[in-house]
Structure 1
Amino acid sequence: MFSSLLLLLILAASYTFVECACPHGWILHGKSCYHFSHDTEEWIGALAVCRELGGQLVEIEDADEDTFIIHEARRHHKSYWIGLSDIQVEGTWVWMSSKIPLVPGDYKNWARGQPDNHKGNENCVNLEEDFGTLWNDLSCHIFQNYICERLAQDLDIVG
């Protein structure tokens, strides 16, 4: 009995588990890390900065992720670029880093009346504070804050 208990204690003490972590300045949600920028860039500049930081402009996959992002964006009271664009083919929205097109049935959260391609020159998507932080197409040359996303890093914790 004593040897079984001792073996159990040794196994418990050497148990390794994996915890996800994010770099400083990033926020963990699910298996991803998010960086809500403090600076502003045009959409293409935001795409480049996110890549330099080891990530991409955020690609919103579902309502849970969108709810988290909207909550964080509203805390900062800013509009933010996301990684969706129809810059290649008007009306065909594509997540630019993964090259995955937005098709019927996919999650989307457009503000009422959007996308509208106002003045024929709105090819990039932001979370527009004035529209309740919902999706809005906007000229890619506007300077806005942006949200980067990257996979969380696995840290082996030995306890």
Structure 2
Amino acid sequence: MITWRDRSTVQIQSTCKSLDSMLAEPKDMIAINFLKSNAKMFQETFWLGGSDLAAEGVWVWTTSGQGFTVTDWHTSTIHEPNNENGTEHCLNMNKHLDYEWNDDNCWNENRFACEKP
């Protein structure tokens, strides 16, 4: 896992691509738990490679365009994804939501993880 600090999803997709990698797309609970444990070590929110920019409520991995089959949305205090204010279209593991998945504004700056395909 390669991480940087404080970048929006628009900036980081090109950063990951320049490293012959992509924004992390955890497709099973093993990968989700690996990323979650690393995010907890940094105590930061991390962007993941999911988005519903193309169609609201239809979440896909940005590199492959495939829909999620395994998710970790936060639902205990706030039901995510909620597209608050109509501006949340990118996926993160949010430190304020027990590192579970959250939809957020793509221009917010968070850490991120790149993965090699």
Structure 1 length normalisation: TM-score? 0.70
> How far apart in 2 are the matches of 1:66 and 1:141?
23
Shift, 1:36, TM fit = 2.5
Q: Are 1:50 and 2:13 matched, yes or no?
A: no
Q: 1:61 aligns with which of 27, 37, 53?
A: 27
- Residue 104 of structure 2 corresponds to residue 138 of structure 1: yes
Q: Structure 2 CA distance, aligned partners of 1:70 and 1:98?
A: 22
Alignment partners' CA distance in 2, 1:110 and 1:69: 14
Calculate percent identity across the aligned residue pairs: 26
Measure, in 1, the Cα distance between the counterparts of 2:114 and 2:64: 14
Q: CA deviation at 1:47?
A: 1.1
TM value normalised by structure 2: 0.94
CA offsets, 1:87-129, max 9 Å, x none?
0110110100111122xxx110001100000001100011100
- Structural RMSD (CA): 0.9
Write the mapping of 1:1-150 to structure 2, written as runs, cut at 5 A: 34-37=1-4, 39-102=5-68, 106-112=69-75, 113-150=79-116
CA distance in 2, matches of 1:40, 1:47: 13
Q: AA paired with 1:50?
A: C
**What is the alpha-carbon distance in structure 2 between the residues aligned to residue 86 and residue 71 of structure 1?**
25
Q: Secondary structure at the match of 1:49?
A: helix
**Greater C-alpha Rg:** 1
Q: Which runs of 5+ in 1 are unaligned?
A: 1-33, 152-159
Counterpart CA distance in 1 for 2:22 and 2:46 is 14
SS of 1:126's equivalent? strand
Structure 2, unpaired ranges of 5+: none
